[in-house]
Amino acid sequence: MAEISSAELKGHYARTLTEEEAAKLAKDTALLSEFKRLKLEAEAQKNWDLFYKRNETRFFKDRHWTKREFEELACGVAGESSGGNDATPVLLEVGCGVGNFVFPLIEEKTNYYIYACDFSPRAVQFVTTHPLYNERFITAFQCDLTKDRLVDIVPREGVDVVTMIFVLSAIHPDKMGQALRNIHETLKPGGLVLFRDYGLFDQAMLRFAPGHKISTNFYVRQDGTRAFYFSEQALEVLFTDAGYEVVSNEYVCRETVNKKEGICVPRIFVQGKFRKPRVASKEPAADS
């Protein structure tokens, strides 16, 4: 079997590559030029805005599975509320897109008050013009998690649950820690981040042709949007370095079936729960 770099195989991973897959990854060593990498970073927001201009609200299905995977969305409060048992629990969704997660929750009459933000102004506009949007239940706003302070809009230590569903993978790896520290400021002690994203050796990663690799496990799609593919170990390091405790962190294997074409595609995601410590501790250091 062809060898793959130790960085790509670092830690436990969900599946063993075929010889053909391993050879393909081993050969894909050429990275995009620095000019192209910097251009993609500078145009990241524009590329997501164009994505939503093309697809509007049609691309992603509503995420009715989230309450099944994360019981915290269906019952109780994860954090320590300072307002007593009657205080309204607060949920923050980062990377809300067009509302495929938040509006199913609102339809099911969730007890949470919801803050929802996205990098793309166009996506936020789709949320605020949705028939179910009502500021009694939800506040939506545009935010760059790597630059804009969430606590300028969301109460500091006021959030019980944060959801990050296929969000962190779109951020440059060098800036992921800053995004997680930004979120950390909003969580109550004991509050949780509920996380799902792309896992190492997911079929989407293996399909990239040469010329799409930005850095190890980080790729650009045809439309200019980017995706990082996480190992469990890499994810654990990111969260613990940002001041979180690991509650759970594991690969989830699924199959996407196209009945019309008779195709079954194996998918690998990484799913976890990460807690802000209940006991006050030193805040994670900001970037210098």
| CATH code of the domain containing 265 | 3.40.50.150
Please report, for residues 136, 145, 267, the alpha-carbon distance to residue 183 in angstroms, rounded to integers and kept in the order given: 23, 8, 28
- Residue 174 DSSP label: G
Q: How many residues does the chain have?
A: 288
Q: How many structural domains compose the chain? A: 1
- What's the pLDDT at 205? 95
- What's the pLDDT at 281? 55
- What's the pLDDT at 81? 43
- What's the pLDDT at 1? 35
Does residue 102 fall inside a structural domain?
A: yes
Residue type, 210: P
What's the rounded Cα separation, in Å, for the pair 140 and 126? 10
Q: pTM score, two decimals?
A: 0.85
Across the strands, what pairs with 139? 115
Does residue 200 fall inside a structural domain?
A: yes
- What's the pLDDT at 83? 41
Across the strands, what pairs with 247? none
Strand order of the sheet with strand 218-220? 213-215, 218-220, 226-228
C-beta separation of 142 from 120 below 8 A: yes
Does residue 6 fall inside a structural domain?
A: no
What's the rounded Cα separation, in Å, for the pair 124 and 67? 23
pLDDT in tens, the chain (288 residues): 334 444 444 455 677 888 999 999 999 999 999 999 999 999 999 998 898 888 655 444 544 455 566 677 765 444 444 444 458 999 999 999 988 888 888 888 888 999 999 999 999 999 999 999 999 999 999 999 999 999 999 999 999 999 999 999 999 999 999 999 999 999 999 999 999 999 999 999 999 999 999 999 999 999 999 999 999 999 999 999 999 999 999 999 887 766 677 777 788 999 999 999 997 655 555 554
- What's the pLDDT at 17? 87
Which residues, 6 or more positions from 12, have their beta carbon under 8 angstroms from its beta carbon? 231, 232, 233, 251
Collapse the DSSP code of 127 into the 3-class scheme (helix H, G, I; strand E, B; otherwise coil) and give the result. helix
Does residue 229 fall inside a structural domain?
A: yes
C-beta separation of 182 from 159 below 8 A: no
- For residue 156 the two structure tokens come to 């500091």
Domain hosting 47: range is 19-80+87-275
- What's the pLDDT at 62? 46
Does residue 58 fall inside a structural domain?
A: yes
Angle of helix 44-55 versus helix 121-128 axis, rounded to 10? 40
Does residue 9 fall inside a structural domain?
A: no
Does residue 288 fall inside a structural domain?
A: no
C-beta separation of 230 from 170 below 8 A: no
Does residue 191 fall inside a structural domain?
A: yes
